[in-house]
Amino acid sequence: NAGVTQTPKFRVLKTGQSMTLLCAQDMNHEYMYWYRQDPGMGLRLIHYSVGEGTTAKGEVPDGYNVSRLKKQNFLLGLESAAPSQTSVYFCASRTIGTGETQYFGPGTRLLVL
């Protein structure tokens, strides 16, 4: 099993450009999450999904959109990138239940100039 994979690993964007980050999991997990991690801020939830075809906003959703068309994939889109979106983005997934483990991907490093 590959677990949780993220594409791309690193990207540089210019302000105003758009891009999509792809997360894939092969563990048949229902729940999937997108976080951003900034120095001194910890992990902050952007959007999440509790199942195929569903999405919900997290703590910092502005400037991002998501889609969960297939159970194994969770896409994070930036329609018009801003320098404030420079960050490391992590995807995670887990199965249903209280206290279940979240499995994280290796991260995508995004630099917006």
Instruction: Quote the CA–CA distance of 45 and 77 in Å, as a whole number.
Output: 15
User: Residue written as tokens 């490391």?
Assistant: 88
Q: Could you say whether residue 106 binds other proteins (CB under 8 A)?
A: yes
Q: Could you say whether residue 1 binds other proteins (CB under 8 A)?
A: no
Quote the least distance from Cβ 65 to other proteins, whole Å.
18
Q: Could you say whether residue 107 binds other proteins (CB under 8 A)?
A: yes
Q: Which of 85, 99, 93, 87 is nearest to 25 (CA)?
A: 93
CA dihedral angle for residue 101, residue 88, residue 27, residue 72, rounded to 10 degrees = 130
Q: Could you say whether residue 61 binds other proteins (CB under 8 A)?
A: no
Query: Is 110 in a helix, a strand, or coil?
Result: strand
Q: Could you say whether residue 105 binds other proteins (CB under 8 A)?
A: yes
Tokens of 99: 């206290």
Q: Could you say whether residue 50 binds other proteins (CB under 8 A)?
A: yes
Q: Applying CB under 8 A, which residues contact other proteins?
A: 4, 31, 33, 40-45, 48, 50, 58-59, 90, 92, 98-99, 101-102, 104-107
